[in-house]
Amino acid sequence: MNAPTVSVICPTYNRSAKITETIDSVRAQTLQDWELLVLSDGSDDDTDDRVRDSARQDPRVHLHRLDRTGHPSTPRNTGLALARGEFIAYLDHDDLWRPDHLTTLLELLRTGADFAVTGCTYHDTTGAEPVEFAPLSAFWHPQLQLLGPMFEPSRAGHRRGVVEGVGGWRGGAGLEDWDLWLRIADAGHTLRTVVRPTAALLMDGGTRRNRMPRPHRLPLAVVDDARMAHDVLGELRSGRHDEAFRAAVFADTRDWYRRMDESGDLVKPLDWSGDLDDEIRRVVSGEVRLFDELVLVPERGRYAIARNFLCSRAEHARRAALLVPSVQPRVLRLVRELAQGGPAFLSDEPQLLGS
């Protein structure tokens, strides 16, 4: 049997009839030279039977059952070991592809890229679209990859061997895709993106990302008095300073993107021709709450106003903490000025808490 062009890896657990919709979105692709590896992570409902029904209709669909792990990394690594395609694409079991998804990925990968990502739409369990996909989400640079979780797996594809070459998918509490894409960036692999939406992704508050612990925190200001720390946090969340902070976020982000662009390493979507400042302004003005992610952390008898880092590994968090002061100098200065009502300091190189 000839090897397919693309191997599609889909981990699943107890998806039941819904898995058929996901499979059908692969079967509807305009590019038909694929195999679909559905990795059932110990499902104990009728999910496996649903996949078998699809496989009887289409021999390109393959079910592989694993003992329960409770994490998608093991099924994905198993899928990589089974894959026969020249290229790999991922599809989470609650997402869907539009018919041009694989064609679009291959157009990007065949330009010489090692890794490719498309745009998407988001929907909730009712079918409504709670957020709009921002073209800025399809820009890429190693620093962007370091500081924020980017590129859900259902949008991504790569050449065979790229992931194995950086150690494969890792376990953890969540955001294993962020961890993997960062290692791919560190290895120097090339990336191409488009804004065009070719995947429909489910946004669900019950996902592991929303439940994962947040052990790493970057202190923005540290004060001696607990009451004052609460007062400063309350002042930040009051909304009275939102205009000043949004202006600072915009100026910091604009300067940051300009530096990345001047370095020659900023990857812009191939189908985008807009104005970068306008895109940044649109994202910044769309932020409803600026400080909901801030927390107070006792630290050696003092109190830190700190930002949660979602990344799961301490080394990743340390690298991000070293970069933040050069990326957000105005924002950090405003926090420091707000905390000057008492003994406060903001380190030029903040040390992570809880690492």
Question: Over the stretch 275-297, which tens digit does the pLDDT of each residue have?
Answer: 999 999 998 886 545 677 788 88
CATH number at residue 160: 3.90.550.10
- Closest alpha carbon to 335 in 326, 327, 343, 344: 344
Residue 41, classified by CB atoms within 10 Å of its CB into exposed (0-12), middle (13-18) or buried (19+), is: buried
Please report whether residue 167 resides in a domain.
Answer: yes
Token reading at 77: 């690594």
- Looking at the fold, whether 184 and 265 belong to one and the same domain comes out as no
The 10s digit of each residue's pLDDT in 161-203 is 999 999 999 987 678 999 999 999 999 999 999 999 999 999 8
One domain for residues 163 and 14: yes
Residues 166 and 219 reside in one and the same domain:
no
**Predicted confidence (pLDDT) per residue in 312-325, tens digit:** 788 998 999 899 99
pLDDT at 214: 61
Distance CA 185, CA 256 (A): 18
Structure tokens at 33: 């030279």
Q: Is pTM beyond 0.85 here?
A: yes
Can you tell me the distance from the alpha carbon of 163 to that of 295, in angstroms, rounded to the nearest whole number?
Answer: 35
Q: Place 152 in a pLDDT band, splitting at 50, 70 and 90.
A: very high
Q: What is the pLDDT of residue 210?
A: 52
Contact (Cβ atoms closer than 8 angstroms) between residue 157 and residue 151: no
Last residue of a domain, which of 181, 208, 235?
A: 208
Q: Which of 175, 190, 208 delimits the end of a domain?
A: 208
Task: Quote the domain boundaries for residue 269.
Answer: 214-345
According to the model, what pLDDT value does residue 82 have?
98
